[in-house]
Amino acid sequence: MAGSATSSASTSARASARQGQGNYQFALIALTSLFFMWGFITCLNDILVPHLKSVFQLNYTQSMLIQLCFFGAYFIVSLPAGALVKRITYKWGIVVGLAIAAVGCALFIPAASYRVYGLFLGALFVLATGITILQVAANPYVTVLGPPDTAASRLNLTQAFNSLGTTIAPLFGAMLILSAATVAATNATPEQLDAIRVAEASAVKFPYLLLAVAFLVLAAVFAALKLPKVEDEETVEPMRGGGSAWQYRHLVLGAVGIFLYVGAEVSVGSFLVNFLSQPDIAHLSEADAAHYVSYFWGGAMIGRFVGALIMRHIDDGKALAFNAAVVIILLAVTVLTTGHVAMWSVLAIGLFNSIMFPTIFSLALHGLGKYTSQGSGILCLAIVGGAILPMIQGGLADTIGIHLAFLMPIICYVYIAYYGLKGHKPVA
């Protein structure tokens, strides 16, 4: 009887484990839709930058206010979002984030109607607030939905769908935003200049209305879903002096890595359309250049799918350092050459960028235990690099030229290589 009871208990435990694993798999499938959506939204900014630069006749620095407002929200909202998610759970954090993102998308309609640059920036800030809450909730949720040793692999897999969104977004923007502006400009007479600007500004209404609807539908779906409740992993060692994730050195260094990586990635992506339009690079129209931006983000998508497989067998830190070293070489080639060599070297950066964000994120969160949500908030706080560094590159582009401005991201990738080799290791 004892053996029968033991066998029954063992069978029950295995069934429970299988059920839990199934729930985790379903949750991960549901979360991939979120990664797709915020990748799509974030990359669509790369189309908004040249578009609104043309609509409002901005210089490079002024056009980078788009990224400042979008990624500045991460700095302002991330820590409160971490506290919110800890209070209302990962699931309801996701629902709240989706609802706020929908409101931000809807605000593009009055911004386009009044044709005021400040209103566009405000709408972007609200949209980014929702995306920030999603990031704070979903990234750590993925890391704890399964064994800790495969957290980076899972995060790379879901980030691959983020990259699918970033790959499709430039095509979507080129078709519905930039092409509309090009047609209007081509057919207009000099006396119709104001009408051209109205048409260009209005081109964003329909795309962002579609996105608002999509976010609302997702919010309703996630509110109805029964997602598994998970507990944060235990800390790798007791917290000395207790009380804060800030005391973990590898988390703080990881936050610097996120700051520099996101800043570098956004800086490169934001300037691609204008860079490829240069006469000494590819001399493409903005609409045609936007199609090539898909190669940049498509490379990131391929790299993340591949990374999700091979990083189960390769040390995360070494893979991060290797990719950073390759990007440094590609940026040097971009700066030192012209024509198609410079064009394809800058586009190839996306492939090697692929694993960086999720790998830095998971390495920095490793072993934080009950401080995981706070650590996630700190890392998302560091995404403000996407607001600050593009402004610096914009200032460089206005002073020394858009070509030489690509020197700035090299410094960022040098640090990322260091973090992969040494900085991510917890200090006893």
426 DSSP assignment:
P
Query: Which residues, in sequence order, are CB contacts of 115 under 8 Å at separation 6+?
Result: 55, 197, 198, 201
What integer best gives the mean pLDDT of the chain? 82
**What pLDDT, on the 0 to 100 scale, is given for residue 267?**
94
pLDDT on residue 226: 79
pTM of the prediction? Answer: 0.77
HSE-CB at 142 with a 13 A cutoff on CA atoms is 29
Q: What percent of the chain has pLDDT over 70?
A: 83
Res 230: pLDDT: 60
pLDDT in tens, 234-260: 444 444 445 688 888 999 999 999 999
Position 179 scores a pLDDT of 59
Go through the chain and tell me how many residues it has: 428
**CA 168, CA 207: separation in Å to the nearest integer?**
13
Residue 226's CB is within 10 A of a number of other CB atoms, namely: 9
- Higher-confidence residue of 398 and 167: namely 398
Mean pLDDT to the nearest integer, 370-374: 78
Sign of the Cα pseudo-torsion (399, 403, 404, 405, in order): positive
Lowest mean pLDDT among 48-52, 156-160, 291-295: 156-160
CB atoms within 10 A of CB 119: 16
pLDDT at 408: 96
Of 9-23, 141-155, 204-218, 376-390, which range is least confident? 9-23
- The lowest-confidence range among 125-129, 230-234, 382-386 is 230-234
* pLDDT score recorded for residue 17: 37
Band (pLDDT 50/70/90 cuts) for residue 171 is confident
Going along the chain from its start, the domains and CATH numbers come out as 14-423 (1.20.1250.20)
Res 237: pLDDT? 46
What share of the chain has pLDDT > 90, as a percent?
38
pLDDT in tens, 130-159: 998 988 888 777 777 777 767 667 776 777
Q: Is 395 exposed, middle or buried (0-12, 13-18, 19+ CB in 10 A)?
A: middle
pLDDT band at 189 (very low <50, low <70, confident <90, very high): low
pLDDT at 130: 94
The confidence score (pLDDT) of residue 12 equals: 36
pLDDT, average across residues 184-195: 56
Do the beta carbons of residue 262 and residue 382 sit within 8 Å? Answer: yes
pLDDT digits (tens, 9 = 90+) for 333-346: 999 999 999 999 99
In the prediction, which pLDDT does 20 show? 46
